[in-house]
Amino acid sequence: MHKAGFVNIFGKPNAGKSTLLNALIGEKLAIISPKVQTTRHRITGIVTAPEYQIVFSDTPGIIDPKYKLHEKMMGAVKSALEDADVALLIMDVKDNVAENLELFDSLKQKASCILVLNKMDVLEKEPLAAVQAQCEAWGKAKVVTISAVQKKGIPELLNQIVALLPESEPFYPDDTLTDKSTRFFVGEMIREKIFQLFQEEIPYHTTVVVTQYQEKQTLVKITAEIVVTRETQKAIILGEKGKSIRQIGTLARQDIEKFIGQKVFLELFVKVRSKWRDNETFLREYGY
């Protein structure tokens, strides 16, 4: 009997959803940062074994929308809520348990749920046992404790997921890793560097568009635009004598080369589009 299904990851910002997706897939598909709202899309990663296929989706953290981009982000969460066969409800073990359980209750998820307690590496044994007991008492999901960063508890989590999967033929050919394009991941890797290098509002006013992706004989030539909302932000992204944008370029290029397994020539430009986060046309053009 072959099993297959959609397994979607939900939780508060910074619970470790994207880190978990990468740990489950064994590849860095989703970008990670200590900042909230790093993930803006629903990102799919596919695990295929002889007996099963799991189509995982990482989702943006659940928030109250403040601008149109936020609405699109919560739209991605909603679609994932609707098509889940199994929902992974993930929380940081150090976060307020009651608050998380209340959030999970509010999702009114009809699929089978697994409550994933993440970041076990940051808690001592006894407080961790107390959190586990509180979550077991909730009674609405199996509880699995993991460390996504240290890849602890992942095989056990996979076993629990497979046990809940419906009987089905696979949805994708067995060598498929994701449904997003290489261009998409290239843009995300550049965006990740901006989340990691810049403070305060800059990352939240920024998006990245890959405008050229050309495979040459010995390398791939990539051009991308970093879009911001103000001239002052452009100046900060560029940095003194272009120092900051060179740093973004160097770090992003290393990640992209690792991802596609080829040498990369990366050219970056900065563009000001004052209201892109609230403009339907720009949002669509930028892939939201």
Q: Which residues bind Mg ion (CB under 5 A)?
A: 17-18, 39
Is 253 among the residues that bind ligand GDP (CB under 6 A)?
no
Indicate the residue among 39 and 229 with the shorter CB distance to Mg ion: 39
Question: Distance between CA 126 and CA 124 in Å, rounded?
Answer: 6
Q: State the residues that interact with K ion by CB under 5 A.
A: 14, 38
Q: Which residue is nearest to Mg ion (CB)?
A: 39
Q: Which residue is nearest to ligand GDP (CB)?
A: 16
Indicate the residue among 19 and 132 with the shorter CB distance to K ion: 19
Least Cβ distance, residue 166 to Mg ion (angstroms): 27
Whether 35 has a binding-site annotation, put simply, is: no
Indicate the residue among 189 and 220 with the shorter CB distance to ligand GDP: 189
Of 99-107, 113-121, 156-164, 165-173, which part binds ligand GDP (CB under 6 A)?
A: 113-121
For the CA atoms of 72, 16, 100, 118, the dihedral, rounded to the nearest 10 degrees, stands at 160
Least Cβ distance, residue 249 to ligand GDP (angstroms): 22
Residue 149 near which of K ion, Mg ion, ligand GDP, none (CB within 5-8 Å, type-dependent): ligand GDP
Left (φ > 0), alpha (ψ -120 to 50) or beta: where does 166 sit?
beta
Of 8-16, 70-78, 161-169, 211-219, which part binds ligand GDP (CB under 6 A)?
A: 8-16
Whether 17 has a binding-site annotation, put simply, is: yes
What track of x and - describes contact with ligand GDP for positions 146 through 185 (by CB under 6 A)? -xxx------------------------------------
Q: Which residue is nearest to K ion (CB)?
A: 38
Indicate the residue among 39 and 53 with the shorter CB distance to Mg ion: 39
What is the SS3 assignment for the chain?
CCEEEEEEEEECCCCCHHHHHHHHHCCCCCCCCCCCCCCCCCEEEEEECCCEEEEEEECCCCCCCCCHHHHHHHHHHHHHHHHCCEEEEEEECCCCHHHHHHHHHHCCCCCEEEEEEECHHHCCHHHHHHHHHHHHHHCCCEEEECECCCCECHHHHHHHHHHHCCECCCCCCCCCCCCCCHHHHHHHHHHHHHHHHCCCCHHHHCEEEEEEEEECCCCEEEEEEEEECCHHHHHHHHCHHHHHHHHHHHHHHHHHHHHHCCCEEEEEEEEECCCHHHCHHHHHHCCC
Q: Which of 8, 39, 48, 145 binds ligand GDP (CB under 6 A)?
A: 39
Q: Which of 71, 99, 121, 231 binds ligand GDP (CB under 6 A)?
A: 121
8 Å CB contact between 124 and 199: no
Whether 203 has a binding-site annotation, put simply, is: no
Question: Distance between CA 67 and CA 256 in Å, rounded?
Answer: 30
Whether 45 has a binding-site annotation, put simply, is: no
Is 33 among the residues that bind ligand GDP (CB under 6 A)?
yes
* Residues within the interface to ligand GDP (CB under 6 A): 11, 13-19, 32-34, 38-39, 61, 118-119, 121-122, 147-149
Binding residue numbers for GTP: 11-18, 58-62, 118-121
Binding residue numbers: 11-18, 58-62, 118-121
